[in-house]
Chains A and B, each alone.
Chain A
Amino acid sequence: MGPLFDPFLDNEFMLRALLAGILVSISCAIVGTFVVLRGLAFIGDALAHGVLPGIAGAALLGLPGILGAAVGALAMIAGVSLVTRLTRLSSDTAIGLLFVSMLALGVVIVSGSSSFAGDLVGILFGQILGTSVEDVLVQAVAVVVIAVIAAICARPFLLLSFDPEQADVAGFPSRRYHAIMLLLIALTVIVSFQTVGTLLVFGMLLAPAGAGALLAHRIERMMAWAAAIGALSTYLGLLLSYHLDVAAAATIVLVAAAIFFVVLAVTNLRDQAPAWAAPRSGERDRP
Chain B
Amino acid sequence: MTGSTPDVIVARGLAVGHGGVPVVPDIELTVRARSSLALVGTNGSGKSTLLKTMVGLVPIVAGELRVLGERPGGAPRQIAYLAQFHAAGFILPLRAIEVVRMGRYPNLGLFGRMRTEDHDLVAWALETMDVADLARLPLRSLSGGQQQRVYLAQVLARRADLVVLDEPTAGLDAGGRERYLEAFAGELARGAAIVTATHDIAEAVEYDQVLLLARRVVALGPGAEVLTADRLLDTFGIVIRDPHAHHAGRFVVAERAHGAPQVIDIERPPD
Contacts and interface: CB of A to CB of B under 8 A. Distances in A.
A171 B94 contact: no
B73 A155 contact: no
A213 B137 CA distance: 15
A216 interface: yes
B93 A163 contact: no
A218 B76 contact: no
B93 A213 contact: yes
Q: Which of A155, A169, A219 has the most CB of B within 10 A?
A: A169
Interface stretch (B104-112, B228-236, B251-259): B104-112
B227 to A, nearest CB: 29
Contact of A156 (B56, B92, B110, B135): B110
16 contacts: A37-B88, A155-B109, A161-B88, A162-B88, A163-B83, A163-B86, A165-B52, A168-B73, A169-B79, A170-B105, A170-B106, A171-B106, A217-B94, A218-B94, A219-B93, A281-B137
A169 B55 contact: yes
Interface of A: 37, 152-153, 155-156, 158-159, 161-163, 165-166, 168-172, 212-213, 216-219, 221-222, 280-282, 285-286
Nearest to A170: B106
A221 B76 contact: no
Nearest to A169: B81
Contacts of A216: 93
Contacts of A171: 76-77, 106
Nearest to A219: B93
Nearest to A214: B93
B99 interface: yes
B141 interface: yes
B57 interface: yes
A217 B93 contact: yes
Contacts of A217: 93-95, 138
A285 B106 contact: no
Given A165-B81, A171-B77, A152 B92 contact: no
A282 B95 contact: yes
Contacts of B102: 155, 158-159, 162, 166, 170
A216 B92 CA distance: 10
Interface in B122-172: 135-138, 141
Interface of B: 52, 55-57, 73, 76-77, 79-81, 83, 86-88, 91-95, 98-99, 102, 105-106, 108-111, 135-138, 141
Contacts of B98: 158, 218
Nearest to A283: B136
A213 B95 CA distance: 13
A219 B105 CA distance: 16
Given A162-B88, A166-B81, A169-B81, 10 more contacts: A155-B109, A159-B102, A162-B94, A162-B99, A169-B76, A170-B76, A280-B141, A281-B137, A285-B95, A285-B138
B57 A169 contact: yes
A222 B93 contact: yes
A282 B55 contact: no
A224 B218 CA distance: 55
Contacts of B111: 152
Contacts of A219: 92-94
A141 B137 CA distance: 37
Across chains A and B, which 9 residue pairs bring their CB atoms closest together, nearest first?
A171-B76, A282-B136, A217-B138, A170-B106, A169-B81, A216-B93, A282-B137, A155-B105, A222-B93
Nearest to A271: B141
A50 to B, nearest CB: 26
